[in-house]
């Protein structure tokens, strides 16, 4: 005899995790296109040629623009908001908004969704760092520690946007499960 409750005890089938995985791949593609290629089509040859140039002439790294002072560009951008509100706010907010989807997709892919906040922080920081180092080594952008801060904050915001409704839904479901409506 089959036990009908065995189906309810198992987590959702793996096929339901395919959608978040595909969304993550699409998101990473678009993010790479925006951050490294400034909206142009992705061309790995550009990165390869820039890396080869750097390997042949490592002294060129000293000519790259780098910001290693936390909050320097954030403060500068905040002060420029009155002069150039559109461009500056787009840069500041864009760095946050760009990583919000990552903070939402990671918990969707994991089994313990509500406890994945630390992983979101780590992945957001690591992904942002990989983009910043690539920009530093290739010279196709500026290494900015403030981008690391804003991107990581964006990932955390995405996690919060995911976790609060998930927590509320979980709480409501458990309350309904404990206090079933008695019908007469």
3-state SS class at 13: coil
In tens digits, what is the pLDDT along the chain, a chain of 184 residues?
455 444 444 455 566 678 999 999 999 999 999 999 998 999 999 999 999 999 999 998 888 999 999 999 999 888 887 777 777 778 899 999 999 999 999 998 886 666 789 999 999 999 999 999 999 999 999 999 999 999 999 999 999 999 999 889 888 888 766 665 555 4
Buried b or exposed e, range 79-90, using 16+ CB within 10 angstroms: eeeeeeeeebee
Give the pTM: 0.82
């Amino acid at each position: 005899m089959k036990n009908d409750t065995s189906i309810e005890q198992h987590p959702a089938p793996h096929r339901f995790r395919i959608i978040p995985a595909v969304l993550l791949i699409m998101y990473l593609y678009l993010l790479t296109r925006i951050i490294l290629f400034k909206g142009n089509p992705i061309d790995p040859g550009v990165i390869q040629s820039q890396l080869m140039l750097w390997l042949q002439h490592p002294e060129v790294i000293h000519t790259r623009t780098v910001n290693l002072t936390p909050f320097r560009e954030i403060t500068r951008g905040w002060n420029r908001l009155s002069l150039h509100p559109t461009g500056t706010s787009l840069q500041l907010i864009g760095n946050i908004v760009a990583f919000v989807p990552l903070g939402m997709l990671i918990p969707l892919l994991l089994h313990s969704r509500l406890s994945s906040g630390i992983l979101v922080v780590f992945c957001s920081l690591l992904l942002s760092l990989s983009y910043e180092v690539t920009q530093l080594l290739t010279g196709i952008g500026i290494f900015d520690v403030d981008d690391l801060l804003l991107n990581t904050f964006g990932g955390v915001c995405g996690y919060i946007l995911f976790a609060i409704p998930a927590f509320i839904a979980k709480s409501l479901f458990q309350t309904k499960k404990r206090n079933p409506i008695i019908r007469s």
